[in-house]
Structure 1
Amino acid sequence: MKRSILLVVAAAAIGAATVAVIISRPFVLSSGDTKHAHVIAQAEPASAAIYYQDPDGKPLYSLTPKKTPDGRDYRAVPAGADISFDDPAEVAAAPPADRKIKYYRNPMGLPDVSPTPKKDSMGMDYIPVYEGDDSDDGSVKVSPGKIQRTGVKSEPAALRPIRTVVRAPGTIQLDERRVSVIAMRAETYLQSVADVTTGTFVKKGQALMQVYSPAVSSAAAEYVTTITSRTTAGEPSYGRGSRQRLMNLDVPDAVITAIERTRVVPVTVEWSAPRDGIVLERNAVQGMRAQPGDVLFRVADTSVVWALIDVAERDLGSLAVGQPVTVRARSFPTRDFSGKIAVVYPQVNRETRTARVRIELDNSDLALLPDMYVDADIEIGGSEPVLAVPDSSVLDTGSRQVVLVDKGEGRFEPRDVKIGRRGGGLIEIRSGVKDGEPVVVAANFLIDAESNLKAALKGFAEGAQQ
């Protein structure tokens, strides 16, 4: 950016000639410099005031004496004073007499210093750097005016609990332990099938079909003969083998109990649902012949379901079995389903770099359906407070992390820190900062830039002095 500066200085005194100095020069501003231009205007006599400035250093000026709204006089600025268009209050003030000048730096912020007063190629005076402006401890001093303009804010490091939420997508799946298959263990003929279809909810013990099986009829006849003759034998264990044969054929308990009570061999056997649940599959057709192993019905209890979510590899170390999880189904965005981590599968997907986590959810109202998309929120981090600072205060270069410690009076010290967990806008500080030490939380990049600039200037100054 180019800027033209036009300064008109007028000084008048009784019995003396009026002198006006007009200086106009364009120049290019450096992006890393905060002192833009300094122009020296001289008039005769030297003690005459060339303009008047607000006593608080605000950028308010007057060519004639003036008062502030609260009645204070504007400060007279004599000829020969150094005028700064960035911070007039700092430059217009007289140089401190009790401080020693260490070197002079380029007014444009270039890495050029001189041990003696000097002018640059445009005739601008080099700016003196006094002892104490650049300390050996690596700290940087920033003027109050610059702190106010850039919005520098500090906040003490304090003990705070850090809670982080891991978010991961997933799907609803059936609980493998709550799925039942109805399959015959012998050759069977289906006499009739109940009015039950895929998706129908059935109760445990509800009739699904009537079947005829030669193997079941033979086993039932043998059992009836056995229990009838048991009254003569008088042995309690008599006929146990015949009953076990019916059980091996998977005959429902209700049918076996009816045979024991009536002592009658049934022609057809009523097959019922083994559990409460949803009919996921129906292959039974009236009049068909079913071979051993053919799946006729598949029923699943969906009162408890699984949420299988894919968690990023970097978050696995923070997860543990039993952690509470909040699941939100995309079909019910305003409703939360609570569960706990049941299993963290011991394998990472090679392509997505994620691991599967299983969460058990109560689904008593059957709202969650298999293969439904869900989003899980897993809250990690303990309730124990740790030393933490706002995440905006940490300058991360990749290989190191730095915070700027506010030492007071406009001095800031860059300090390396070791960080830990992140979450809720906070970063855990494991070393480098003590509890209660104030750190810069806003405009720290500007201070860091000035720190780097002053470090470079200091190196050039030491070289020039040698």
Structure 2
Amino acid sequence: MKRLNSLALLGAGLAAGIGGSFLYSGYWPEAQPAIAAEQHDHGAAESEAPGHDHADHDHTGQATQPGKSDREILYYRNPMGSPDTSPVPKKDSMGMDYIPVYADEADEKPNDAGHDHQAEDGHAGMDRDSMDHEHHDRGDQSDESDKSSDAGGEREILYYRNPMGLPDTSPVPKKDSMGMDYIPVYADEAEDGDTVKVSLDKIQRSGVKTEKVGRKALSRQVRGVGTVEHDESTISVVTVRSDGYIEDLFVDRRGQHVKAGEPMFRFYSSQIQLAQVDLLVSLRSRSRTGSDREVEGAIQKLRNLDVPQSRIDEVIETKKNPRTLDWPAPATGHVMSKNVLKGQFVEAGDELFRIANTDHVWVVAEVAEADIGEVAVGTPATVILRAFPNKPHEGKVTFVYPHMTNMQTRTVPVRIELPNPDGEMLPGMYADVVFHVGAEAPDVVAVPDDSVIDSGARTVVLIAKGEGRFQPREVTLGRRGEDYVEILKGVSEGEEVVTSATFLIDSESKLKAALQAFDRDETQEGMAKDGKGEGCPKRE
């Protein structure tokens, strides 16, 4: 009996101890369903809160979104963004569930899905919560960049390029070996085949400058060297139309100034003597017959011998036959040449004197072959004599010679006519001539001289497209002005051209063209090897 009482007391003590331990730990077996229900109600309240995406858990422990249990799962990806996938549910080394990737979400950013799943895993520990918070921040930044890029509407993605700039592209979202997302290339950002991109840092260091293309009045100065010459229209030659003798000289030196009508030499000619006799005979015959026919014939004979009208009138009035004739100067000017001496016998047609008037002179300038196309009749010109550098003379081009006179210097003569009332411009003087080309021409589309790259084979300017993108474009040049050149074809008004550091960008463009040519060669070689049209991957 005592033994039974001892066993009863021992069982009661054990029961009391077990009950005390449960009360002390806060856990009671019968209350466990109520606690689970309370936790389930708390989770449901969180899932119903606005703006909170909560995913239920199925019996496998994997997260599934409400109402989407029938969606097709393509694969499971690493929750930390590493390039690791699994065809079945899986956990990583930290115990985090791999995130399912659905067929209708394959184009979405992995960070977004990772964010949703990590937000649902409330049962993770403190270390896992901190990592989820960092991943959540990265997902938000990615969402903001996507929203900012799509603010103007849906943008077409052409392909995805390697984030490290390697020559590798993908038609679908992809990660590289370091887990970095490939960068989408949109249709409105894609570079043309002939567009080159230069980093902004290199642009700043190189001092690249641009200027908008506009219309300008192209006026420039074409320079030439000329000489003062006689106006050929004022040169006179003194000659006789009959044989005779020079009995006396009144102008006996070169350079002597003479006036029109002033006697130059005394001339005896038997032919003039006979013509004067015929005139006297016809005058006496007219007094008997009253006919002027013979008189008019005799007068015309004297005129044919270039006898001055003053001598004919003298014979008619005096009825005498003078033996010699004082030959008058035909024009006012300076004697350029003298080819006669006193007492000399001369024949009809011999040049005795040459007289030139210097009241009006020519300046004949030599213009280079490269500039002659812009100099025309009417082009304003400034003539500066080297003897009088502070007294410029303004004139216009009156004639462009139709031939090149100097084959060694490859120049074309151009004539400017200038008045010379004071006679300071002497024939033979050197003069510097400045032609003002295009001063009266209309405005044209022009670019700075520094923006033109002339390789000899073609002429190119660089068009700035913004964000470090430049396009080499071939152009056709027209007239040149001061620091600007006309563009006939290739560039439109309003576009921007590069005006400095053009050779840096041009070298980048040539490098890109060489790489593209190398890629084409590799592709053709690959196609020739496999015979299936599959070449090397296209380089960006």
Which band: TM-score by shorter chain?
0.5 to 0.7
Q: Is the aligned partner of 1:444 residue 2:486?
A: no
CA–CA separation in structure 1 for the residues paired with 2:517 and 2:341: 92
1:373 aligned residue: 430
CA–CA separation in structure 2 for the residues paired with 1:278 and 1:441: 58
What secondary structure does 1:240 align onto? helix
* 2:385 aligns with one of 329, 338, 351: 329
CA–CA separation in structure 2 for the residues paired with 1:194 and 1:440: 74
Contact 2:382/2:434 (CA < 8 Å) preserved in 1? yes
CA–CA separation in structure 1 for the residues paired with 2:441 and 2:408: 35
Distance 1:351 1:419, change over 3 A: same
1:247 aligned residue: 303
What secondary structure does 1:398 align onto? coil
1:102 aligned residue: 162
Q: Which runs of 5+ in 2 are unaligned?
A: 1-140, 147-159, 170-174, 523-535
Paired amino acid for 2:504:
L
Q: Which runs of 5+ in 1 are unaligned?
A: 1-95, 106-111, 119-124
The Cα shift of 1:199 comes to: 0.6
1:76 aligned residue: none
CA–CA separation in structure 2 for the residues paired with 1:461 and 1:102: 17
* 1:272 aligns with one of 328, 332, 338: 328
Paired amino acid for 2:502:
N
1:434 aligned residue: 492
Paired amino acid for 1:221:
V
Contact 1:340/1:361 (CA < 8 Å) preserved in 2? no
What's the Cα RMSD here?
Answer: 3.6
The Cα shift of 1:349 comes to: 5.5
Distance 1:425 1:129, change over 3 A: farther
The number of residue pairs the alignment matches comes to: 357
The share of aligned pairs that are identical, in percent, is: 39
Higher helix content, 1 or 2:
2
1:384 aligned residue: 442
What secondary structure does 1:239 align onto? helix
The Cα shift of 1:160 comes to: 1.1
The Cα shift of 1:342 comes to: 2.4
Q: Is the aligned partner of 1:199 residue 2:255?
A: yes
* 2:337 aligns with one of 256, 275, 281: 281
The Cα shift of 1:393 comes to: 1.0
The Cα shift of 1:156 comes to: 0.7
What secondary structure does 1:345 align onto? coil
1:305 aligned residue: 361
After superposition, residues 38-437 of structure 1 pair within 5 angstroms as 102=162, 104=164, 135-137=190-192, 138-194=194-250, 196-334=252-390, 335-346=392-403, 351-381=408-438, 383-437=441-495
Contact 1:343/1:359 (CA < 8 Å) preserved in 2? no
1:64 aligned residue: none
Contact 1:161/1:386 (CA < 8 Å) preserved in 2? yes
CA–CA separation in structure 1 for the residues paired with 2:398 and 2:298: 46
Q: Deviations over 1:185-240 (max 9, x none)?
A: 33323332225521112111112122232322232232133234434433344411
Q: Deviations over 1:32-51 (max 9, x none)?
A: xxxxxxxxxxxxxxxxxxxx
CA–CA separation in structure 1 for the residues paired with 2:332 and 2:305: 22
What secondary structure does 2:162 align onto? strand
Contact 2:282/2:295 (CA < 8 Å) preserved in 1? yes
Contact 1:339/1:362 (CA < 8 Å) preserved in 2? no
Distance 1:284 1:328, change over 3 A: same
Q: Deviations over 1:125-167 (max 9, x none)?
A: 9xx9966699431434444444333222211100112234433
> Which stretch shows the higher mean deviation, 159-168 or 237-246?
159-168
Contact 2:251/2:265 (CA < 8 Å) preserved in 1? no
CA–CA separation in structure 1 for the residues paired with 2:463 and 2:199: 16
> Which stretch shows the higher mean deviation, 201-210 or 333-342?
333-342
Contact 1:255/1:270 (CA < 8 Å) preserved in 2? no
Q: Which has the higher contact order (CA 8 A, sep 6+)?
A: 1
Paired amino acid for 2:417:
E
Distance 1:237 1:364, change over 3 A: farther
Distance 1:132 1:326, change over 3 A: farther
Which one has the largest radius of gyration?
2
Higher strand content, 1 or 2:
1
Contact 1:153/1:440 (CA < 8 Å) preserved in 2? yes
Distance 1:456 1:289, change over 3 A: closer
Contact 1:313/1:348 (CA < 8 Å) preserved in 2? no
CA–CA separation in structure 2 for the residues paired with 1:147 and 1:322: 46
Q: Deviations over 1:10-65 (max 9, x none)?
A: xxxxxxxxxxxxxxxxxxxxxxxxxxxxxxxxxxxxxxxxxxxxxxxxxxxxxxxx
Contact 2:302/2:312 (CA < 8 Å) preserved in 1? yes
Give me the TM-score of the superposition, normalised by structure 1: 0.65
